[in-house]
Structure 1
Amino acid sequence: MDHLQLLDLVRHPLSPDTRLEVPASREEFELVQEILDTEDTKYPQIWYDSLRNLAIIVAPPTPLHSGMAGALLTRISSQIRNSGISSDVTDNLTQDADRRTTKNTGRGLTTRAGDGALRYWEGKRATLMIAVEVGVSQSYVSLRQAISWSVVILGCRLGLAMSIHEESRGTPHTRYYASLEQANAVLEEAEDDLYQQLTQHQYGPLEWDGETWFGKIRRVALETYRPQDEDCPLDTLLEPSQSFMIVQDGEYIRHDISPNLREVVVGDCIPSHLLTGRHFQATPLNFFQREWFEDQFQGLMVETALLRLQEKIKVRQPIA
Structure 2
Amino acid sequence: MCAIGNQGRTRSAPRNRRALALQCMSSKRQEGKRKRKANELILSADKRTLANQRRTMTEHSDLLEIVRRPLSPDVQLEVQASGEEYEQVQAILENEECKYPRLWYDGTRNIAIVAAPPSALHAAMVTALLSDISRAVVRQPGLSSEISNRVYQWAEMGNTRGRTTRGWDGAIQYREGNRTTLMIAVEVGVSQSYESLRAAISWSVCALRCRLGIAMCIREQGRGEAPDPPQYSSIQEENAAVDEAEEDFRHQLTERPYGPLVRDGVTWFGRLERVVLETYRAPDENITESMVLDPSRSFTIVEDGEFVGGDVPPNLQEVVLGDCIPDHILDGDEIVARPVKFFRRDWFEAQFQAGMVRTAGNRMRPRPQ
Alignment TM-score, normalising by the size of structure 1? 0.94
Deviations 1:4-28 (A, max 9, x none): 3321111011111111101111111
Instruction: Determine if contact 2:299/2:312 at 8 Å carries over to the other structure.
Output: yes
- Equivalent of residue 29 in structure 1, options 55, 70, 86: 86
Determine if the alignment matches structure 1 residue 264 to structure 2 residue 319.
Answer: yes
Task: Note the 1:242-281 alignment, pairs <5 A.
Answer: 242-281=297-336
Partners of 1:308 and 1:192 in 2: CA distance = 15
Which is greater in Rg? 2
Task: Note the 1:1-320 alignment, pairs <5 A.
Answer: 4-84=61-141, 85-104=143-162, 109-169=163-223, 170-311=225-366
Q: Which amino acid aligns with 2:148?
A: T
Instruction: Determine if contact 1:203/1:217 at 8 Å carries over to the other structure.
Output: yes
Instruction: Determine if contact 1:3/1:31 at 8 Å carries over to the other structure.
Output: no
- CA drift of 1:3 comes to 6.6
- CA drift of 1:151 comes to 0.2
Instruction: Determine if contact 1:114/1:133 at 8 Å carries over to the other structure.
Output: yes
Instruction: Determine if contact 1:136/1:164 at 8 Å carries over to the other structure.
Output: yes
Instruction: Determine if contact 1:267/1:281 at 8 Å carries over to the other structure.
Output: yes
Instruction: Determine if contact 1:150/1:159 at 8 Å carries over to the other structure.
Output: yes
Deviations 1:252-303 (A, max 9, x none): 0121110000000111000111111111111101100011000000111001
Partners of 1:73 and 1:3 in 2: CA distance = 41
Q: Which amino acid aligns with 1:114?
A: W
Partners of 1:147 and 1:312 in 2: CA distance = 30
4+ aligned runs moved over 2 Å, structure 1: 1-5, 176-185
Unaligned runs of 5+ in 1: 314-320
Partners of 2:140 and 2:109 in 1: CA distance = 42
- CA drift of 1:2 comes to 8.2
Partners of 2:120 and 2:322 in 1: CA distance = 30
- CA drift of 1:311 comes to 2.8
Q: State percent identity of aligned pairs.
A: 53
Q: Which amino acid aligns with 1:186?
A: A
Deviations 1:64-103 (A, max 9, x none): 1121011101100000011121110011111111111111
RMSD, matched Cα:
1.5
Q: 1:91 to 1:26 in 2, by over 3 A?
A: same
Deviations 1:123-146 (A, max 9, x none): 101000000000012111100000
Aligned with 1:98: secondary structure? strand
Partners of 1:2 and 1:259 in 2: CA distance = 54
Q: 1:12 to 1:86 in 2, by over 3 A?
A: same
Deviations 1:195-220 (A, max 9, x none): 10100110010011210110110000
Q: Which amino acid aligns with 2:144?
A: S
Instruction: Determine if contact 2:171/2:184 at 8 Å carries over to the other structure.
Output: yes
Partners of 2:278 and 2:311 in 1: CA distance = 15
Partners of 1:159 and 1:2 in 2: CA distance = 41
Aligned with 1:99: secondary structure? strand
- Other-structure match for 1:316: none
Q: 1:6 to 1:217 in 2, by over 3 A?
A: same
Q: 1:178 to 1:137 in 2, by over 3 A?
A: closer
- CA drift of 1:41 comes to 1.5
Instruction: Determine if contact 2:212/2:323 at 8 Å carries over to the other structure.
Output: yes
Instruction: Determine if contact 2:231/2:366 at 8 Å carries over to the other structure.
Output: no
Q: 1:70 to 1:179 in 2, by over 3 A?
A: closer
